[in-house]
Amino acid sequence: MERPVTEPRTADELARTLREAIQRLNRRVRQTRPVGDLTFSQLSALTSLQLAGALTPRELADSERVQPPTMTKIVGKLEERGLVVRTPHPTDGRQVILAPTERGRTVYAEFEKARNEWLASHLAALSPDDRETLARAAEILQQVARF
């Protein structure tokens, strides 16, 4: 059963309500992905590489907030599937650089498309006024994210 929408009265109440709504929406969008055998951790690492372009394994582990041995396993699975490639680091011979392959970029694009289609279909069910309100809210959230 849906809870009634109430006007938050304080900045703290608004923060809690907004955070909870964003978390629920984010969780639902993250669950939407093309059928495949990639785990959430693998998709997340691939997304980080796609957005960054290339990272060292340590940078990727830090970005994903996992320990390096865990990231080694994740990267190994992505490499097995031809989604990530290792190249020598340009200045540090002890390091490698990880980057998505063309196939990795395609998988990422399919993932993003599935998420966007899911969200667009649900937004289409809203009234034009509600969609306009969400468009304005998205602009405001972008401002908050820059602080």
With respect to residue 3, please indicate whether it lies within any of the assigned structural domains.
no
With respect to residue 1, please indicate whether it lies within any of the assigned structural domains.
no
The residue with tokens 């849906």 is 2
Nearest-10 crossing angle of helices 11-31, 102-124: 120
With respect to residue 24, please indicate whether it lies within any of the assigned structural domains.
no
Domain count, the chain: 1
Q: What is the pLDDT of residues 50-73, one digit of tens each?
A: 999 899 999 999 999 999 999 999
With respect to residue 73, please indicate whether it lies within any of the assigned structural domains.
yes
Where in the sequence is the domain holding 125, given as residue range(s)?
A: 32-146
Residue 52: CATH number of its domain: 1.10.10.10
Q: What is the pLDDT of residues 79-125, one digit of tens each?
A: 999 999 999 988 988 899 999 999 999 999 999 999 999 999 999 99
